[in-house]
Structure 1
C-alpha cells in the first residue's frame, strides 16, 4: 500500500501469512522478525512505528527499500489493518517513507540511529546549555541526533513538493541553451527576479521592479552583504530586537558590528528606546517577531518609518510573514517606505532551508554597492534552482504549496497548544497567530530552574528545544521556543510530555 492506503506492493520476499487455525507461540512476521507480542497493551501502533523507524535508522531498511502492503503486514501480525496504516502514516508525516504509486511505499530518508541518539544528547546537554551561547551553538544543536526535534525555524520538510519541483525542473531543462549554463548576472536570473516581483506584489503588498531585486543565498547571506554596506558608510552599531534571533545577532557580530539591544513588548519593538540608544540602523522582524510572535503595531510602525525618514536604516527580515493562521498578514514595511527600508525574504520557511535562495531590496542609493558585494561574494546563485523556483512561482504551484502547508502547520500548532495546556499548566503561550513555532514563558519554575536546565534535561531525554534565554540579551522570564511545523502530531504530544516531566522533576 502507499501512504494513502492503496494496496500496491507485493509481499516482501520470504514473508508468510499464518493460516487462521494455526496455533503459534507468538504471532509475528518474517519482515524484520516482528513479534506483536512485544507490543504493550494499547500501544501496538506506536510500537510498530518505532520498530520501523529503528530499522530505517540502523540500515535494515535502507533508503529505497519497499515496505510490505499494509494488508499483508496486518495479516502476518494478526492485527487490524488500521494499526499498520497508522504506523505508516506517522513515518510518512515525519518524512521517512512516502508513497510512490505503483512502486508502493518506500523509504525516502533515514533518521539518526536510535541506539546512539539519547546517550550522545545526554552528554552534550550540560556543555551546550551550561553557559552563554557561543558562536555556532545553533548549528551544534542542529547536528546532534535526537528522538524528537522541536527546534524552531524549520518548515514541514516532508511536505516539500517533490513532484512539482521535478516537473518544473524538466520543463526548465528542456528550454535551456548551452549558453544558459555559463556565468550569469550576479543580481540573479531575470526570470526569478520577475517572479519575485509578482510574488511580493501578491503576498506582501510591495511594488518593485526586477532591476531592484538581488537574489542571495538566504537571509543569512543578505545580512552579511548589508553589513558590508553599512560598515562602508561608517555604521558599526546596529540595534536588534530583545529578545530576538540569536542566529541573526551572531551573523552581524561576525561581520564586526556592535549589537545594541532594544526591548520588545506586546506592541513590538520599542521605537522610543531605539531613538534613545543612538544606533543608526536596526534589524527587526515586524510581521511576526522572532521569537515572541508579536506584530509591530500601527503606532510603532508610524514611529519607525518616521525614524527611517530622518536617516535611520531599517533592515526588515520578513520572517514567517506568509504563515498566518488567525489574522491576515500585515503589509511589509518596505511597501510603505521603499527608500527607507532594506527588505530581506527567502523560501527557507516556505519550501526548505537547503535551497539557499532569498532576495534583497535596498534603497536606490545602496543598490550598486550591493550588486558589487554580491559579485565578489560568489558571482551569483546557482542558475538552475533559480529558474525552477521562478517556474513554481509563475505557475501558481508555490501558492498551492503554501495553502497546503499552512493547513498542516495550523493542525500541528493546535496539537501543540493542547499538549501545552495539558502538560505545562501555568505556562504562558506567545505567538500562536502565525509562524512555525510557539514561545512559552514560565512565571514560576520549580526550584528556580533555568530554561537552559529544562532544555538540557529535555535533550537528555531525546527532545530538542531552544531555551528562550539564548535569544535574549537582557534578563527576562525563563521560557522555551518550540517548533511544531516539522514534527508529526504524536511527536509533538510526546515531546511536550517530556518537557513537562523535566519541569516537574526539576531537570
Structure 2
C-alpha cells in the first residue's frame, strides 16, 4: 500500500523575511506555521540535506533551526526517524478561531443601499455583452486615467440634460468618496488644508477628506440646509449635499444656495457638491445642481452607487477648468456598459420605474409608522424618525429581533437629539409591515416613542 502523504511538511511555503541570521529566520518561519496550524502534530519535515537544497542554504542552517525548535518543544527528533511536529503542538497552539459572522438581518432599515433585489441584471448583462462584443481590442489594455472618452462624453450630456450641469467633460471615478479624496489632494497641494463638512453628515466623506490630508471642520445643518454663515473664517472649501442632505433630508433653500455661492466668491473658495439622492424627488421635480449656477466655483460629484449598485464602483467628477486633480481609472468594461445603458435609454427607464417603486414603498412605510414623528421624507431613500429617549436602546432591541437600524448619532461627531435614520431603499415591499411592527415593539419596550 502507498502511505498517505498528506501529513508531510515538505511543501509548506515558508516566509523567511525579516531580521536575524538565516537559521533564526528559518526557525521563526517553522514556528509560525506550527502555531497557525499549517503544520499539524505528527507532520514530518524533510531531512536537513533536502531542506537545505530547497532553500539553497547550508545544511548547518537547517540543523540549527531544527535543534532550536526541538529544544522549544515544537519538534521531536528520534534516531532513525524523521523530524516531526511534536505531538503536543496542537494542544498548546490552537489556531485562532475565525470570528463568527453574524447572520444577515431579517429586515434592513439602515440607509445607504438602493433596491438590490431589483438591480436590472438582464439589461446590465446585455450592456456588458455589447461592450465586450463591440469594443476594439485597444480598449482592453490599461484603463485610461480619467475614464474612457465614450463614457465621459455620455455622462457630460446626461448631466447637462437631467441635472442642469454646465460641462463639456467629466472625469470618471470609483465613487463620490473617491472624488472627494482626489479633489482633496488637489486642494492640499494648492495650500488649502481645511475643509468644511455638514454636521450631521456622511462619515465616509469626512474620512475621504481626512485621508487626503485635510482637516475636517464641521458646520451645522438646520431646516434650510448648511448654515453658511457658520463656516469659520479661513475655510476655503466645503462639501455639501444640496439636493437631499444626508441624513437630515432637508433641501438647500434658494437663499442658502445664493449665500453659499457668495461665500465661495468672497473667499476664493471651492464647493464640492455631492449630488446625493438627486434622482429621487417625490413632491416635485428634482432641483438643479448648484454647479450649474457657477461652474468655476463648484465641483459636481455623483455616482451610481445609490441608483444601481455600489458594487459597480463608478462615479463622476465635474471639475472647474482652472483645477487639475489626480485621475482614477475604473474598470473599462463596466464603464462601456454604463455608457451603453445610458445611450439606449435603459438607465432612464430604470430610474423612472425605481422612482415609482420607491415612492410607493415610502408611502407604505409612512402609513405603517402612523403618528410617529417623521421628517425628511420628501425625497431620497431615507427619512428621520425622532425619538424621546436614546436611540441606541431601540437599535439594540431591534437587532435582537432581526431588524437593522442606524442611530442619527452614527453620522455626527457628538450625541444630539435622539433619532433613527430609516433607509427603505433595500427593504422588500412585502416586509414593510413586519419591519415596522418590530420597530414599534422595540420603541415601545425602550419607552422611546415620539408622536407628531
Quickly name the TM-score band, shorter chain normalised. 0.7 to 0.9
Match of residue 82 from structure 2: none
Q: Which residue of 1 aligns with 2:127?
A: 168
Of 279, 300, 305, the residue aligned with 2:256 is 300
User: Which residue does 2:279 correspond to in 1?
Assistant: 322
| Structure-2 change in CA distance of 1:266 and 1:331 (3 Å) | same
Aligned positions, number = 347
Give the drift of 1:252: 2.1
TM-score by length of 1: 0.66
In structure 1, the partner of 2:304 is 347
Q: Which runs of 5+ in 2 are unaligned?
A: 1-99, 448-452
Higher relative helix content: 1
Q: 1:430 pairs with 371, 375, 381, which one?
A: 375
Rg larger for: 2
The 8 Å contact of residues 112 and 423 in structure 2, kept in 1 or not, is answered as yes
Between 1:451-460 and 1:187-196, the stretch displaced more is 451-460
Instruction: Tell whether the 8 Å contact from 1:260 to 1:277 is kept in structure 2 after alignment.
Output: no
Q: Aligned partners of 1:436 and 1:292: how far apart in 2?
A: 12
Do the aligned partners of residues 277 and 245 (structure 1) sit closer, same or farther apart at CA in structure 2, a change above 3 Å counting?
Answer: farther
Equivalent residue in structure 2 for 1:192, among 147, 151, 171: 151
Match of 1:183 in 2: 142
User: Alignment RMSD, CA only?
Assistant: 1.7
The Cα of 1:491 is off from its aligned counterpart by 1.9
Deviation at 1:257, TM superposition (A): 2.5
Residues in 1 aligned to 2:261 and 2:173: alpha-carbon distance in whole angstroms: 25
The structural deviation recorded for 1:177 is 2.3
Give the drift of 1:242: 1.1
> In the TM superposition, what whole-angstrom CA distance separates every residue of 1:335-382 from its partner, at most 9, and x where no partner exists?
011010111011111111100000011111213xx1xx225xxxx111
Which residue, out of 110, 115, 123, partners 1:151?
110
Within-5 A mapping of 1:21-420: 145-210=104-169, 213-274=170-231, 276-310=232-266, 311-367=268-324, 370=325, 373-374=326-327, 380-420=329-369
Give the deviation of 1:470 after TM superposition.
1.1
Deviation per CA, 1:468-496, whole angstroms, max 9, x where unpaired? Answer: 01112254210001111211233222222
For 2:405, the equivalent position in structure 1 comes to 465
497-506 or 408-417: bigger deviation: 497-506
TM-score (norm 2): 0.74
- Mapped to 2, the partners of 1:146 and 1:495 lie a distance apart of 11
Query: What is aligned with 2:441?
Result: 501
> CA contact under 8 A between 2:361 and 2:429: conserved in structure 1?
yes
SS at match of 2:306: coil
Q: Distance in 1 between matches of 2:101 and 2:122?
A: 36
Partner Cα distance (2:225, 2:166) in 1 = 25
Match of 1:135 in 2: none
Whole-Å separation in 2 of the counterparts to 1:169 and 1:412: 30
Q: CA deviation at 1:183?
A: 1.7
Q: CA deviation at 1:277?
A: 5.0
The secondary structure found in structure 2 opposite 1:482 is strand
Q: Is the 8 A contact 1:242 1:474 kept in 2?
A: no
1:80-108, CA deviations, whole angstroms, 9 ceiling, x for partnerless residues?
xxxxxxxxxxxxxxxxxxxxxxxxxxxxx
Contact 1:413–1:485 (CA under 8 A) maintained in structure 2? no
1:5 — aligned with what? none
Question: 1:398: Cα distance to partner?
Answer: 0.4
Q: After superposition, what is the alpha-carbon deviation per residue over 1:24-69, rounded to whole angstroms, capped at 9, x for unaligned? A: xxxxxxxxxxxxxxxxxxxxxxxxxxxxxxxxxxxxxxxxxxxxxx
In 2, Cα distance between equivalents of 1:333 and 1:243: 20
Q: Return 5+ residue gaps in structure 1 as ranges.
A: 1-118, 122-143
